Amino acid sequence: MLEKKSSPKSPKPPGTTIGSYTQVFLCYFDEMRGHIPLVSYPDKNILFDEAATKPIFVHSVWFLSVEEQEDFDHIDLDYSDRTYLAKKFRVPTTRKKERAGSEKDDTETMVLIISVPSDLSVIGSHVLAKVYGAIQDTLTADLYKIVKGDIARAKPIKTIQLQQVIKEADVVIDKFYKLCEWILAPSTTSILNKLSDSVTKQKALAYLMLVNGTSATGKNAGSGGLFQHTTTAVPSMLPPITVSSINFCRDKECIEVILENHMDEDIVGAKIMVSNVQGFFEKHFFEHDVEYWFSHEEIMLKFPFIKNMREYIITVDVDGKKYLNKRLDIGEIMS
């Protein structure tokens, strides 16, 4: 069942902070499973989007040792219209390696990746240096807990000990989120103003003017920075569809989810699919077509609650492109 909300919201202004254009990924190398993304910010659900995370798995930084890439500030991958700047490093760990024949190692191999539009690579370099420095200053000794928590979540049975491991991991993840939030909070133009004049800087300014529909008013003109914003274009990292709220129906026989079209354009021909997760497989059990979805309009989706089913996946597909791929955990739903 799908219900349209009474009135669409007015368009939202574009983001101007670093976080509006930047995505941070923290990954590690698992001796059993290979390259594993652990957490991401500000879009915490992007890890469930296979297309969006593909560059993470094919990045060349994985094929270099920590020592081989130490001579460089970062290793870059250009994919589509974005640049993925990466740094590999080690952190101490108490985790026992699971793969038979693995050498005894008291470190975890971590990879920090910053994704930005290619024309803003100069900002990506700044963010990578800041996040990496903050990790070294505050989180180095605790990052292994996130790794242990990820492995614990993959276990089919969560013992009391594993539940405690997951709780400890969540505490460190929250610290990582706050660290990223603080670093991504400054305005994009304020960072560019601190850089010396260069071709890279001018290229970044041109990109921002194109995205935000603004005009430059001189290096020091205007109280708002290099230019003032006059449009409602959405930066490329803002998700087109988001989940505004999740609740049980009154009788708990169904789940209500409110979805919002964040784009400044109407969507024509969207398909919403709900799947339940069974082991490693997804099984579609609910589909609904949305012929016309207005810009910034909210719609309410209702689908059956299957008892003993803990996870669901909501997908919004438009012409073969995923606009949303959201995993729902029943334990997070407030009745």
Q: What percent of the chain has pLDDT over 70?
A: 73
Residues 269, 315: one domain? yes
In the listed set 170, 196, 228, which residue is the last one of a domain according to the structure?
228
The verdict on 270 and 152 lying in the same domain is no
pLDDT in tens, 225-255: 333 333 333 344 457 888 888 888 877 788 8
* pLDDT at residue 308, as a whole number: 74
Query: How many helical (H) and strand (E) elements, i.e. helices and strands, does the chain have?
Result: 6, 13
pLDDT digits 0-9 by tens, 10-19: 333 344 678 8
Rounded CA gap, 55 and 52, in Å? Answer: 7
The CATH number given to whatever domain includes residue 312 is: 2.60.40.10
* Residue of higher predicted confidence among 43 and 119: 43
Contact 325, 45 (CB under 8 A): yes
Query: pLDDT tens for residues 43-70?
Result: 999 998 888 899 999 999 998 889 988 8
Are 91 and 50 members of one domain? Answer: yes
Mean pLDDT along residues 158-177: 94
Q: Which of 10-19, 31-40, 139-148, 266-275 bottoms out in mean pLDDT, i.e. has the lowest? A: 10-19
Q: How confident is the model at residue 190 (pLDDT cuts 50, 70, 90)?
A: low
Average pLDDT over the chain, rounded to an integer? 78
Same domain for 133 and 27, yes or no, is yes
Lowest model confidence (mean pLDDT) among 96-100, 158-162, 191-195, 264-268? 191-195
Whichever domain contains 149, its CATH number is 3.30.450
Q: Does 217 have pLDDT greater than 50? A: no
Residues 172, 34: one domain?
yes
Lowest-confidence pick of 88-102, 132-146, 147-161, 235-249: 235-249
More confident residue, 175 or 122: 175
Average pLDDT, integer, range 121-130: 87
Q: Are 132 and 180 in contact (CB under 8 A)?
A: no
End position of a domain, from candidates 171, 200, 228 = 228
d(CA 40, CA 45) in angstroms, rounded, equals: 8
> Is residue 46 domain-shared with residue 142, that is, in the same domain?
yes
pLDDT above 50 for 127: yes
* Residue numbers of the domain that contains 246: 2-9+237-332
Assess whether 213 and 271 both reside in one domain. Answer: no
Write the CA distances from 249 to 184, 199, 256, 257, integer angstroms.
Answer: 37, 56, 6, 10
Residues 259 and 272 sit within 8 Å (Cβ to Cβ): yes
Overall domain count for the chain: 3
User: What is the average pLDDT across 207-235?
Assistant: 40
Q: What is the pLDDT averaged over residues 113-137?
A: 89
- AA identity, residue 37: P
Residue 175 sits in the same domain as residue 284: no
Compute the distance between CA of residue 27 and CA of residue 53 in angstroms, rounded to an integer.
11
pLDDT of residue 99: 57
pLDDT of residue 187: 61
pLDDT at 221 over 90: no
Judgement on whether residues 89 and 217 belong to the same structural domain of the protein: no
Q: Are 126 and 22 contained in the same domain? A: yes
pLDDT above 70 for 115: yes
Looking at the structure, do residues 44 and 127 belong to the same domain, yes or no?
Answer: yes
265 & 217 share domain: no
